[in-house]
Amino acid sequence: MAPIPRASGYAWSPRQELFAYEPSVPCQQEQRSLYACTRASGRLFVVREDGTGKREVTAGHLMGWTADGRIGFFRSYQRAIPRAFDLDSGKTGPILPGWKVELPIWSPDGRFVAAVARTGVVIARADGRIVQTIPSRLVISMIAWSPVGRRLAFTTSGFPNPHQLFVVDRPSARRRLLFVAGSWHFDWITWSPHGTRILLDDENRHRWLLFRTDRSGRRRKLPRLGGRPLWCCPVNSFSAGGTIRNS
C-alpha cells in the first residue's frame, strides 16, 4: 500500500479494489503550538489496492463511495452539497437525482438508500425518490441496514439523554422502538449476518446487549470484549456506509 499523510481522510471502493484519500496539509498559522496543526487539502487521490496507479482525480472533500463505484465528495464546507465523480468518464454528477443531504448508505439489494438529514432519517429509492423522512428531535448517531432484507436500524442521542435504538422493518414502515436508555449513553450497533439480531455496545456498563429484532423484545447481556462490536458484513459507520471484511 502506498503511504498517505497522517490525518488524511480515506475510503475503500465497494469491491475493495481502489483506495480514495484526501491528504492533509499543514495549517497556515503564525503562532507556535505544541501540536502539529493540519487541515483537509481539498484534493482527492485514488490508488490501487497494491499501491500502484496513484493519481489525483478531482478537487473537493472526500465523503466515501457510491454503490456503483463513484467517489462521493463535496466542493466546499460553505456549500456541502454531495456530488459524485465517475472515474471512467471523468464526469461529476449528483449522488442521486435531487439528492442534497449526506452521502447515503445503500440497502444490500441496492434498491433503497438511507441517510441522516437535519430533520431526521431520510429513506429513498435508488432513483432518488423519497419514501419517507423519519423525524427526530434528537441527534441521529448511527444508521445501518440489515445484511439481508430491507430492515434499517438507527440510534439517537439526547445529550445527555435519552438514547434510543429503533428498527424500521421495511423502507415505508413506521419506526419501532427496540430499546431506550434514560440515563446512560450508547451509539454503536451492528447486525447479525442473518439480520435477526442487533448487538449494541453498552461500553459504559462494560457489556454488550444482544437484541432479537422481532417484536418479542428479548435481549441477552454479554461480556464486553473491548472495542467496537463487529459481526461480518456489512457494518455501517456513523452516518456513512461501507463493508468491513471479517478478519
Give the pairing type, strands 43-48 and 197-202: unpaired
User: Omega into 162 within 30° of 0, i.e. cis?
Assistant: yes
Span 196-216, pLDDT tens digits: 999 988 877 888 899 999 887
Reference 192, options 236, 230, 245; nearest CA is 230
Q: What is the pTM of this model?
A: 0.81
- The alpha carbon of residue 179 and the mean position of all alpha carbons in its chain are separated, in whole angstroms, by 21
Span 111-161, pLDDT tens digits: 999 999 988 999 999 999 999 999 999 999 899 999 998 999 999 988 777
Strands of the sheet with 55-59, listed across from one edge: 9-12, 18-22, 43-48, 55-59
DSSP 34: S
Residue 58 main-chain phi, psi, to 5 deg: -165, 170
Contacts of 68 (CB under 8 A, 6+ apart): none
Collapsing DSSP to helix, strand or coil, 118 comes out as: coil
Residues with pLDDT less than 70, the chain: 1-3, 5-7, 29-36, 226-247
| CB 171 within 8 Å of CB 130 | no
DSSP 209-226: EEEESSTT--EEEEE--S
